Amino acid sequence: MHDPAETMPPVLKSKNLTLRPANLADVERRLEIGAEPAENLRLYGVQPESVPPFTLERARWWVQSLIDHPFAWVIEAPGLVGSVRLDGVDFTDRRSSFAIGLLRSEYIGKGIGTEAARLVLHFAFSQLKLHRVSLRVLAMNERAIRSYQKCGFQIEGRERETAFLDGIWHDDLIMGLLEHELRL
Q: What is the pLDDT of residue 24?
A: 97
- Mean pLDDT for 137-157 is 97
pLDDT grade, residue 2 (50/70/90)? very low
**Which of 54, 60, 71, 72 is CA-nearest to residue 26?**
60
- CA separation for the pair 46, 75 (Å, rounded): 22
pLDDT grade, residue 5 (50/70/90)? very low
- Mean pLDDT for 160-168 is 94
- Mean pLDDT for 161-177 is 96
Q: What is the pLDDT of residue 106?
A: 87
pLDDT grade, residue 6 (50/70/90)? low
- Is the model's pLDDT at 118 over the cut of 90? yes
Q: What is the pLDDT of residue 7?
A: 63
- Mean pLDDT for 93-111 is 93
pLDDT grade, residue 8 (50/70/90)? confident
Are 87 and 99 a contacting pair, CB within 8 Å?
Answer: yes
- CA separation for the pair 95, 153 (Å, rounded): 14
Radius of gyration of the chain (CA): 16
pLDDT grade, residue 132 (50/70/90)? very high
- CA separation for the pair 73, 124 (Å, rounded): 13
- Mean pLDDT for 154-158 is 98
- Judged on CB neighbours under 10 Å (0-12, 13-18, 19+), 32 is exposed
- Mean pLDDT for 91-95 is 98
Please, what is the average pLDDT of the chain? 94
- CA separation for the pair 139, 142 (Å, rounded): 7
Q: What are phi and psi of 97, to 5 degrees?
A: -110, 165
Query: Which amino acid appears at position 31 of this protein?
Result: L
Burial annotation 111-137 (CB, 10 A radius, 16+ → b, else e): ebbbbbbbbbbebbbeebebbbbbbeb
Give the SS3 label for residue 5.
coil
